[in-house]
Amino acid sequence: MSQLIPPHGGKGLTCCLLEGAALEAEKKKAAGLKQIPVSARENGDLIMMGIGGFSPLTGFMTKADWKGVCDNFLLADGTFWPIPVTLSASKEDAAKINVGEEIALYDPEGKEIMATMKVTEKYDMGTAEKKYECEKVFMGEGTKTAEEFWKIAEKDHPGVQMVMNQKAVNLAGPVKVLSEGEFPKKYAGVYMRPAESRKIFEERGWREIAALQLRNPMHRSHEYLCKIAVEVCDGVFIHSLVGNLKPGDIPADVRVKCIDALVKYYFVEKNVLQGGYPLDMRYAGPREALLHSTFRQNYGCSRMIIGRDHAGVGDFYGMFEAQTIFNKIPYPKEAGKALLCKPLMIDWTFYCFKCDGMASLRTCPHGKEDRVLLSGTALRKMLSEGAKVPDHFGRDEVLAILGEYYKGLTEKVEIKMHGAATGDTKK
């Protein structure tokens, strides 16, 4: 009997990835089906459904699911879910597909059929519906009104741009996943299925595991967060996004090298596990913090480290909105339908010269002038501009890896600073 937290949804790991003879038969069938292209985000969502990362989802959402998630954080059957997982198609393609028909889902980047899908529903996603989703999912406390939100969202929010650029019709239905794309090979030893992380946790005798979400290279604050979690849990799962990011973010293979160096030189290795997952960032702040907790439950984690501006972008979200949202979501009483992975909430952390070490707003009584404020955005900006990185911002081994990466860049993206990166936003 496993002592780990059960997968979300009460149905175990719902894995849609086919293997063996069933896979080969479905591939042959897929070759003769109508093909619908999928975006990078949809491709990542497909793979997560394939490997059980999105349990209990087994397909793209119906309109009732979409509406329930947007309005109430609930699927149509009452299961908690924080962000829509949908598939869009052009009007022309959708018109050629009948409800009840099977189609093939094609990745134009990888030039590969990723899945088959039985279409159970088609529903329009016009401008009004897309804006509705964006306001529900992406509009945080950083913008008070919809009018204020839309003045900047379409230009400055990559998650909003992603939704507004979706095609005109959503297709819903169960999927059979045929491939994990490039991830198992490109990120061998890091990319991990939930069943694999759970097996390792069991072998190590871990029961309480905290997950650290990473989309930036690990700086001293990340390291400190992990070490706090190691003190109160059996182990920490450093779980990096290896899907797509926004321009200017540092690619996954570089971030993985940085984590490797940190774990080797600054952690007791038996208390830490590194893994990678195949999603694109949605930059949905508080809602994405909930999504991170939901799928980390499937990976076997009982706690999700939530610091300041988790999964944020610009100044769209309140500094600790990703923590307080956990107090506002529904917790269904029916077995398995509530989110069980709880937040491990940690205040803003930094290096303090007077404290002579890492500290947080809860432990350090000193002023801003005594602190090295740490953020991934600030680090990327300094490195991209060739500026000197202040002492105690990052470990030398990590900065050396990042310095080599930036030296090799031929094109550089301007990094915009914001309140969460500078310390100008009040708690």
Per-position pLDDT tens, the chain of length 427: 789 999 999 999 999 999 999 999 999 999 999 999 999 999 999 999 999 999 999 999 999 999 999 999 999 999 999 999 999 999 999 999 999 999 999 999 999 999 999 999 999 999 999 999 999 999 988 777 999 999 999 999 999 999 999 999 999 999 999 999 999 999 999 999 999 999 999 999 999 999 999 887 788 888 999 999 999 999 999 999 988 777 777 888 888 899 999 999 999 999 999 999 999 989 999 999 999 999 999 999 999 999 988 998 888 999 999 999 999 999 999 999 999 999 999 998 999 999 999 999 999 999 999 999 877 677 777 887 878 888 888 899 999 998 888 888 776 655 554 454 445 444 3
By C-alpha distance, which of 284, 243, 244, 245 is closest to 134? 284
Rounded to 5 degrees, what are φ and ψ at 224?
-65, -45
- 341 in Cβ contact with 303 (< 8 Å): yes
The architecture CATH gives domain 20-125+166-181: Roll (3.10)
Cβ–Cβ < 8 Å for 248, 272: no
216 flagged as catalytic: yes
Structure tokens at 92: 């022309």
Where does CATH 3.10.400.10 sit in the chain?
A: 20-125+166-181
Task: Output the average pLDDT for the chain.
Answer: 92
Q: What is the pLDDT of residues 105-164, one digit of tens each?
A: 999 999 999 999 999 999 999 999 999 999 999 998 877 799 999 999 999 999 999 999
CATH class of this structure's domain 184-422: alpha beta
Phi then psi for residue 83, to 5 deg, are: -140, 135
Q: Which residue has the tokens 């990166």?
A: 421
What is the Cα–Cα distance from 251 to 246, expressed in whole angstroms? 10
Compute the distance between CA of residue 13 and CA of residue 24 in angstroms, rounded to an integer. 22
The span from the CA of 412 to the CA of 388, in Å, is 17
What phi and psi, each to the nearest 5 degrees, are found at residue 359? -155, 180
Q: Which of 41, 193, 198, 215 is flagged as catalytic?
A: 215
Pick the catalytic residue from 170, 193, 198, 216. Answer: 216
Q: Rounded to an integer, what distance in angstroms lies between the CA atom of residue 58 and that of residue 283?
A: 24
Residues of the chain with CATH 3.40.50.620: 184-422
- What is the per-residue pLDDT for 10? 97
How many angstroms separate the CA atoms of 173 and 165, rounded? 21
pLDDT of residue 414: 57
Per the annotation, the verdict on 215 as an active-site residue is yes
The tens digit of pLDDT for each residue in 71-98 reads: 999 999 999 999 999 999 999 999 999 9
SS3 letters across the chain:
CCCCCCCCCCCCCCCCECCHHHHHHHHHHHCCCCEEECCHHHHHHHHHHHHCCCCCCCEECCHHHHHHHHHHCECCCCCECCCCCCEEECHHHHHCCCCCCEEEEEECCCCEEEEEEECCEEEECCHHHHHHHHHHHHCCCCCCCHHHHHHHHHHHCHHHHHHHCCCCEEEEEEEEECCCCCHHHHCCCCECCHHHHHHHHHHHCCCCEEEEEECCCCCHHHHHHHHHHHHHCCEEEEEEECCCCCCCCCCHHHHHHHHHHHHHHHCCHHHEEEEEECCCCCCCCHHHHHHHHHHHHHHCCCEEEECCCCCCCCCCCCCCHHHHHHHCCCCCCCCCCCCCCEEEECCCEEEECCCCEEEECCCCCCCHHHEEECCHHHHHHHHHCCCCCCCCCCCHHHHHHHHHHHHCCCCCCCCCCCHHHHCCCCC
